[in-house]
Amino acid sequence: MNAQTANEQKLRAIFASSLDIPEDQVQDSLAYNSIEQWDSIAHMALVAAIDEGFGIMRDTDDVIALSSFGKAKEILKKYGVEFR
Amino acid sequence: MKLLEGKIAFVTGASRGIGREIAAVFARHGAQVVAHGRDEAALASLCDELEAETGRRPEVLVYDVRQTEEIKRAFQHIHARYRGLDILVNNAGIQRDALLGFVQPPLVEETMQVNLHAPIYHMQLAARLMARRGGGSIINIGSIFGTEGEAGQVVYAASKAALAGATKSAAKELAPSNIRVNAIAPGFIATEMTARLTEEQVAGRLANIRMGRAGTPADVAGVALFLASPLSSYVTGQVIGVDGGMRL
């Protein structure tokens, strides 16, 4: 498995765990407030888990911009995390 | 077992007075303290003292809390060095006396930046680091003026009243993440800030204190230790007066 695929799987697992949903429900289109589980409280846990999982601390602007799984990948690329 | 063993505690405004005492008490109870301030010499002296006493040297961060970029850098450093944070004490503050008729925009702006905006940004970033650890404790240092008001303190009192509101709101938001947010509202505490008062002013203040004495930084630090520790594990959203029964 290459690094890009591993990072995507890792991010998907973090989303699934933080939002308490199955991994196959985590698609690029999965958006904040689009499902009951991704509310403001889960969002905070998700932000913390992503930063912890990838060993980074994002700027507040990037935390606010975290609006979907697809957007999360886009933001993480700025911090050197590669995706397909 | 010490109350704060293994905890990472960040204290702003730790150069002197209440902040210095809180940093010292936390260190004595086992915390790794990160001490913020503007006076490097005073912070170095605090670190020397605590290292000799506890065998662990606090870390010093010197920056201007009005600069949000510097706040961000401070938390990025804490993240890089400790991978998380357990306790934040927002103590850095300024108090400039001004009767309403003499209040000017720079006074309002600076007071709000230091006493309100900075604590909000510190809470925002601290909460992210605390959430990774499964919880934490945020302590905001307010003032009895924020709850009771005082002549000549319109701006300062407003900033501390706003901080109390921010405390209660953040407590509600962060409770599900097991992050507790409380405030301490000190009354008349003997520090360098109060040393400039005249004897007459001091007598006037003491007359309003039922316990008949000024408070000490240690009186405040004791409550901060309680709020930082598991002793207060079910306490959040509170503004606790440390004022000896002071009434204004």
pLDDT per position as a tens digit, B10-33: 999 999 999 999 999 999 999 999
Under DSSP, is residue B1 helix (H, G, I), strand (E, B) or coil? coil
Percentage of chain B modeled with pLDDT above 70: 100
Choosing from B63, B82, B156, B234, the catalytic residue is: B156
- Please report the pLDDT score of residue B219 as a whole number: 98
| Residue A51 with chain B: CB contacts under 8 Å | 79, 128, 132
Tens-place pLDDT, residues B150-192: 999 999 999 999 999 999 999 999 999 999 999 999 999 998 8
- Amino acid letter for position B232: S
Task: Give residue A1's pLDDT band: very low, low, confident or very high (50, 70, 90).
Answer: low
The residue among B56, B60, B72, B51 whose CA lies nearest residue B15 is B60
Question: b vs e for B21-34, b when ≥16 Cβ sit within 10 Å of the residue's Cβ?
Answer: bbbbbbbbbbbbbb
User: Using the beta-carbon criterion (under 8 Å), do B177 and A52 form an inter-chain contact?
Assistant: no
DSSP class per residue in B71-99: HHHHHHHHHHHHS--SEEEE-------B-
Mutation for A interface: B77, B132, B173, most A CBs within 10 A: B132
Q: How far apart are the C-alpha atoms of A6 and B178, rounded to whole Å?
A: 31
Question: b vs e for B45-56, b when ≥16 Cβ sit within 10 Å of the residue's Cβ?
Answer: ebbeebeeebee
Measured in whole angstroms, the distance separating CA B104 from the mean position of its chain's CA atoms is 26
DSSP class per residue in B106-157: HHHHHHHIIIIIHHHHHHHHHHHHHHHTT-EEEEEE--HHHHH--TTBHHHH
